[in-house]
Structure 1
Amino acid sequence: MNASSTSTNLFTCEHGGNRIPRKYAARFVQQEELLQSHRGWDLGALRTGTYFHQQVASQLFASRTSRLLIDLNRSESHPSLFSKLVSPPGDSERKELLETYYRPWRQEVSDWIAGQVRQKKFVWHLSFHSFTPVLDGEVRTAEIGLLYDPRRTPERTVCDFWRTGIRETLPGLRVRMNYPYRGVADGHTTALRKRFSEDQYAGIELEVNQQLYQQSGRQIMRMIAGLCQSWNRAISQAADAC
């Protein structure tokens, strides 16, 4: 990161909803329970991303279409791009889904970053997600996960500061790095890192245990506000350090 450059915030929510367009509703007949589960969307992610966007000067891109139709956080070649839990699309439908929902959304985000880079602005990208407390019988041992590429200094630095800030602002929450997934695994931020250098772009994924969204409304808002407050402080600290 160029310490003399100005920076800007980009927020994305790839799994913000579980909507199924009417055209594809027949594929999801009797799948309401599945759509409401963690497989259908990331509970709380859009609520958190929207709060951040309201509090911070930023650009927000959010999808409300279910990941079971097409997963915006997977590459086109990934086997989980289309869910195996419902009937798979045929070739023509696959192309239509890519060109209607996937490629335009991904391109819009990438083009926005490129525009900021042309203006000599460094982009802090935070992608909002949530995870189920138990997966395949395994209990997840954290409330907050911060996903990043350890080889990229701005990402590593901001996550170090953010972890400390979360622990101070929201004591009692367990914060783990690159958990419950690896920050360099297939995903939206991973794809963007291939286009933009660490002097132009930092991509972080926030993973929140969905148990936290089962609390009272006041507790949820306290948690979200604490995450936002500590994020802002971490960005400032990282910019100074880098």
Structure 2
Amino acid sequence: MDAIVLSCEHGGNEVPSEYRDCFRDAEQVLASHRGWDPGTLEMGQAFQRSTGAPLITSTVTRLLVELNRSLGHARLFSQYTRDLPSGKKREILDRYYLPHRTHVQEAIDEYRAVGKRVIHLGLHTFTPELNGEVRTAEIGLLYDPSRPGEKSFCAAWRARLIALRPDLRVRLNYPYLGKADGLTTYLRKRYPDDQYVGVELEVNQRLVAESDAWKTLITDLAQTFLTGVRSPVS
């Protein structure tokens, strides 16, 4: 069976004490989708219970540094941190950005060392409306269409989800493109398709506040994901 690595890049909106001055009067922004992905930490923990896989998480706000962007990306640092001195930004990278990415890569390498293909699932949620546009899905599965392993895994997962939960709109490479800049994109450059399957799960944040329904949903997502790992598409 393939190995699984789970990661949660935007699990909280914490501001480390030494950087609080950068975020004065930014409480509303920190609490919004700009500051974090609500529900992802709970979702990651549900997947971890279901799969037994390692879960690498960050609960520091993405407005300090964006863990799902490459070094040098224009949005690596937000409006609150981009004007910090270069030494301070280097500290942020060394304390928060690089350790998270290193831990994910180490988990992948540990499984690859024993000959296993790794399915890496990045867990995210998205705001129901952005810039006046209402998102038309509950679930998005992001992947690189040029990588057959990712394409087949996501197509099969979508089919299982629709069969189990016909009430959900499940779309592929929505509301973002899976080949856009991100952690999975970076890792694809390091590992071939037969060794690494990088998938991002995106869930509409409208569902997070629905309590019991949310718990049922993340259980269904985890179970249908694990079924795909145990019974891969040939």
Q: Quick check: TM above 0.5?
A: yes
State the TM-score, normalized to the length of structure 1: 0.94
Distance 1:13 1:105, change over 3 A: same
* Matching residue within 203, 218, 221 for 1:227: 221
How many residues matched? 234
**Contact in 2 for aligned 1:13/1:63 (Cα 8 Å):** yes
What residue number does 1:3 align with?
A: none
- Is 1:145 paired with 2:143? no
* Matching residue within 11, 19, 31 for 2:14: 19
**Contact in 1 for aligned 2:23/2:80 (Cα 8 Å):** no
Distance 1:192 1:87, change over 3 A: closer
C-alpha separation in 2, matches of 1:169 and 1:218? 17
- Percent identity, please: 44
1:214, CA displacement in angstroms? 1.9
**Contact in 2 for aligned 1:27/1:87 (Cα 8 Å):** no
Alignment of 1:68-217 (within 5 A): 68-84=63-79, 88-215=83-210, 217=211
1:118, CA displacement in angstroms? 1.3
C-alpha separation in 2, matches of 1:87 and 1:81? 8
What residue number does 2:24 align with?
A: 29
Deviations 1:90-119 (A, max 9, x none): 211111111111112111211221121111
**Contact in 1 for aligned 2:6/2:54 (Cα 8 Å):** yes
C-alpha separation in 2, matches of 1:87 and 1:187? 19
1:187, CA displacement in angstroms? 0.2
**Contact in 2 for aligned 1:124/1:202 (Cα 8 Å):** yes
State the TM-score, normalized to the length of structure 2: 0.97
User: What is the SS of the residue equivalent to 1:20?
Assistant: coil
Counterpart code for 1:190: T
Name the Cα RMSD after superposition. Answer: 1.2
Gaps of 5+ in 2: none
**Contact in 1 for aligned 2:2/2:230 (Cα 8 Å):** no
Counterpart code for 1:115: E
52-61 vs 227-236, greater mean Cα deviation: 227-236
1:212, CA displacement in angstroms? 0.6
C-alpha separation in 2, matches of 1:108 and 1:44? 22
Deviations 1:49-84 (A, max 9, x none): 111101112011000000000010000111000012
What residue number does 1:47 align with?
A: 42
